[in-house]
């Protein structure tokens, strides 16, 4: 962690650093500057990652003077909740956060039967320019620090641990985050270092402790980073946002395709599978009259044939004033059926939280 990264976003207006940007070693160094012994870092670490403390005052095994000293110099809750929206069914909760420098990001919690899946952001804005995406409209503001990525998870972990403090619904409240998808704002592989620092902290046994297999990283296809991820040695799932089976159409929807065309992307995915023996998910957002024809379904089935993969068809979340509209349920099912008949494992993902702007970047844009 460089001083520059901390300056980029983690110090608040009072000059307090976010302890979430520190490794345990760096935290020990920070506490040593305050004259504290090494074991204090372990105590603070546990309060943050095991007990989800949001305030130094909760750290009752620290002397009062130290709690006050820490509160003057540091923070463990760097995200300010600007607004939150709960879907009518109570199973989708979206939060808009303000970062210390005023940038805003979104995270969405989805409650399934036994999973509590959190979709988090990796950047404020995004540079990838996908033409159907609300986040793309404002461009990239900046990368999130590792601490800002981790902070989203800890904030929802607190929410799930203390449901009485949050909006009440009939939905049973599980008590922690069980799955994480990096599918919120930003391209995680465009902020590779900070994202992987955050993922290691979230999966570390002495950190948040989530199993790597419960995490999925979604990319539009930054080929060199897919190669790099194959060597990371963590069983994080890879999802590739494909959205079209050929270069002509994909370059219109996902401009990065001009640099990393479909064939190059699929070769990288193939190498990833050979190295990791892990199944890769292809995300395909179905857009009415754009990429949802039976011919394109056949073409997609053809290019994916024989690959250890799964296709997730996603009914598009409509963006206001956008020419892209979701494909009908019947046409979505027909598209899925063609893929299945061609032997490609396919599911249609549930669309969650449509009435609360749960699509990537939509709440941020509405609040702008």
| Piece of the chain touching ligand SF4 by CB under 6 A; list 37-45, 184-192, 258-266, 344-352 | 184-192
Residue 128 gets which letter from DSSP? Answer: S
Per DSSP, the three-state class of 23 is coil
**Scanning the structure block, which residue is given the tokens 């793309």?**
136
Instruction: Candidates 66, 128, 236, 339: give the one binding ligand SF4 (CB under 6 A).
Output: 128
Q: Please select the residue that binds ligand SF4; options are 87, 135, 191, 194, rule is CB under 6 A.
A: 135
331 - beta bridge partners?
none
Please count the other Cβ atoms lying within 10 Å of the Cβ belonging to residue 305.
11
Minimum CB separation of residue 218 from ligand SF4 in Å reads: 8
Closest contact distance (angstroms) between CB of 266 and ligand SF4 is: 18
User: Pairing relation of β-strands 179-182 and 140-143?
Assistant: unpaired
* Element at 311 (helix H, strand E): strand 309-315
Give the H/E segment covering residue 146: helix 146-161
Ramachandran region of residue 188, left (φ > 0), alpha (ψ -120 to 50) or beta? alpha
Which stretch, 13-21, 61-69, 92-100, 122-130, contacts ligand SF4 (CB under 6 A)?
122-130
Does position 186 interact with ligand SF4 (CB under 6 A)? The reply is yes
Q: Which residue, 85 or 136, has its beta carbon nearer to ligand SF4?
A: 136
In 242-297, DSSP assigns E strands to 280-286
Lay out the site mask for ligand SF4 across 212-251 (x = CB under 6 A, - = otherwise). --------x-------------------------------
Where residue 216 falls (left for φ over 0; alpha for ψ -120 to 50; beta otherwise) is beta
- Between 19 and 133, name the residue whose CB sits nearer to ligand SF4: 133
Which position has the token pair 């919120």?
184
* 135 vs 216 by CB, closer to ligand SF4: 135
> Of 360, 362, 363, 364, which lies in the binding site for ligand SF4, with binding defined by CB under 6 A?
360
Q: Would you tell me which residues interact with ligand SF4 (CB under 6 A)?
A: 126, 128-130, 133, 135-136, 185-187, 220, 360
């Amino acid at each position: 962690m460089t001083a520059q990264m901390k300056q980029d976003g983690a110090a608040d207006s009072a000059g307090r650093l976010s302890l979430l940007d520190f490794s345990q070693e760096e935290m020990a160094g920070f506490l040593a500057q305050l004259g504290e012994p090494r074991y204090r870092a372990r105590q603070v670490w546990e309060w943050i990652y095991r007990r989800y403390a949001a305030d130094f005052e909760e750290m009752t095994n620290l002397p009062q003077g130290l709690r006050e000293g820490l509160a003057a110099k540091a923070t463990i809750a760097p995200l300010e909740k600007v607004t939150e929206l709960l879907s009518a069914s109570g199973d989708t909760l979206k939060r808009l956060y303000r970062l210390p420098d005023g940038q805003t990001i979104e995270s969405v919690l989805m409650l399934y039967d036994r999973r509590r899946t959190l979709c988090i952001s990796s950047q404020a804005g995004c540079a990838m320019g996908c033409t159907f995406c609300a986040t793309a409209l404002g461009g990239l503001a900046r990368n999130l620090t590792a601490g800002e990525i981790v902070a989203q998870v800890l904030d929802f972990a607190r929410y799930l641990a203390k449901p009485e403090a949050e909006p009440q619904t009939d939905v049973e409240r599980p008590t922690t985050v069980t799955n994480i998808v990096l599918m919120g704002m930003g391209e995680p592989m465009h902020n590779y270092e900070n994202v992987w620092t955050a993922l290691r902290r979230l999966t570390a046994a002495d950190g948040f402790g989530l199993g790597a297999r419960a995490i999925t990283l979604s990319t539009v296809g930054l080929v060199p980073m897919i190669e790099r991820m194959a060597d990371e040695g963590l069983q994080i799932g890879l999802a590739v946002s494909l959205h079209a089976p050929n270069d002509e159409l994909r370059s219109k929807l996902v401009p990065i395709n001009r640099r990393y065309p479909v064939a190059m992307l699929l070769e990288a995915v193939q190498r990833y599978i050979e190295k990791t023996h892990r199944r890769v998910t292809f995300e395909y957002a179905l857009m009415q009259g754009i990429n949802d024809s039976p011919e394109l379904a056949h073409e997609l089935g053809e290019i994916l044939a024989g690959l250890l993969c799964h296709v997730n068809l996603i009914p598009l979340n409509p963006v206001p004033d956008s020419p892209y509209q979701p494909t009908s349920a019947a046409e979505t099912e027909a598209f899925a059926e063609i893929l299945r008949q061609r032997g490609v494992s396919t599911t249609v993902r549930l669309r969650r939280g449509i009435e609360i702007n749960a699509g990537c970047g939509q709440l941020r844009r509405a609040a702008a």
